[in-house]
C-alpha cells in the first residue's frame, strides 16, 4: 500500500480517499446548509458551528444505535453468564 506524507503525518491511500470523500460531501452540503438556528453559513465561525452540529448529530445517532443494538454502552455481553459454552447443540 502506498503512503502519502504530508505535514509530518503518514497516511495510507485509503485514509486519503476517506478524507477526500468527507471534504467533497461537506462542500456539497454547504451549498444548502443552514445552522440549527436557521441562519446560513456566512463565515468561518459559522462553518465551525455547522461542523460541530454535524459531529454532535453523528455522535448522538451512534450512541442511540449502540444502545438500541446493545453492547455499545460499556456493558459487553459475557457469554459465560448465558449458559452457552461455545459447543454445538446435539
pLDDT in tens, 72-84: 545 544 444 444 4
Same domain, 24 and 44: no
Residues 26 and 12 in one domain: yes
Note whether residue 79 is domain-resident. Answer: no
Residue ranges in the chain whose pLDDT is less than 70:
1-11, 71-90
Task: Please give the distance of CA 56 from its chain centroid, rounded to a whole number.
Answer: 10
Residue at 83 is within a domain: no
Kindly report the pTM of this predicted structure. 0.51
Domain of residue 19: give its range. 1-32
Tell me the three cell numbers of residue 38: 436557521
> What pLDDT, on the 0 to 100 scale, is given for residue 79?
45
- Do 65 and 45 lie in a common domain? yes
Q: What is the pLDDT of residue 61?
A: 82
- 3 and 17, same domain (yes or no): yes
Q: What's the number of domains the chain is made of?
A: 2
Q: Sort 16 into a burial class: Cβ within 10 Å, 0-12 / 13-18 / 19+.
A: middle
Amino acid at each position: 500500500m502506498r503512503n502519502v506524507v504530508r505535514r509530518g503525518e503518514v497516511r495510507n491511500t485509503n485514509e486519503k480517499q476517506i478524507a477526500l470523500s468527507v471534504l467533497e460531501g461537506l462542500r456539497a452540503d454547504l451549498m444548502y446548509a443552514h445552522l440549527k438556528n436557521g441562519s446560513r453559513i456566512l463565515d468561518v465561525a459559522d462553518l465551525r458551528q455547522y461542523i460541530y452540529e454535524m459531529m454532535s448529530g453523528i455522535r448522538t445517532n451512534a450512541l442511540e444505535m449502540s444502545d438500541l443494538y446493545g453492547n455499545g454502552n460499556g456493558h459487553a455481553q459475557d457469554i459465560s453468564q448465558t449458559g452457552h459454552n461455545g459447543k454445538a447443540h446435539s
